[in-house]
Amino acid sequence: MVEDVYDGWIDERDPGRIILNLLLFSEDDLVLCTEGESVKGIGRVGSNPKYRFDIGYEYAQTIYPVAEWKDWDVKLAGPPPKTKAMGPVGINHYKGDEHVVLDAWRILPLST
């Protein structure tokens, strides 16, 4: 259905692509959690991930459950990676150096 509705839409902010990206999340995937371009932390996706639009927030696109969360601490992991603000359609594949994220995940303590 999405293919028919958005056929030919190649804009980077294509809502069809954003929705289809949500279907690609799997248990244990790591996700950069951001507000705009500001990385707030890293989450590990829990079992049977689902999408939720949380109307209470400007950046309302969410994946849950998050099994583990780690706040990004510059003192421990250095500056966070640069991300691209996507506004309300904010689910996008991170195209930067994945080793920065993996190294930070190993270094940062779990948040409570």
Question: How sure is the predictor about 23, in pLDDT bands with cuts at 50, 70 and 90?
Answer: confident
The answer to whether residues 2 and 16 touch, using CB atoms and an 8 Å cutoff, is yes
Query: Span 17-45, mean pLDDT?
Result: 82
Q: In the structure, what pLDDT confidence band is assigned to residue 1 with cuts at 50, 70 and 90?
A: very low
Q: Is residue 112 part of a domain?
A: no
Query: How many domains does the chain divide into?
Result: 1
Q: Is residue 17 part of a domain?
A: yes
Please tell me whether the peptide bond between 65 and the residue prior to it is cis, using omega within 30 degrees of 0. Answer: yes
pLDDT in tens, 50-84: 888 777 776 677 788 889 999 999 999 999 988 87
Q: Decide: helix, strand or coil at residue 20.
A: helix
**Structural domain of 27:** 2-107
Residue 4 has pLDDT above 50, yes or no: no
Query: Does residue 82 sit within a domain?
Result: yes
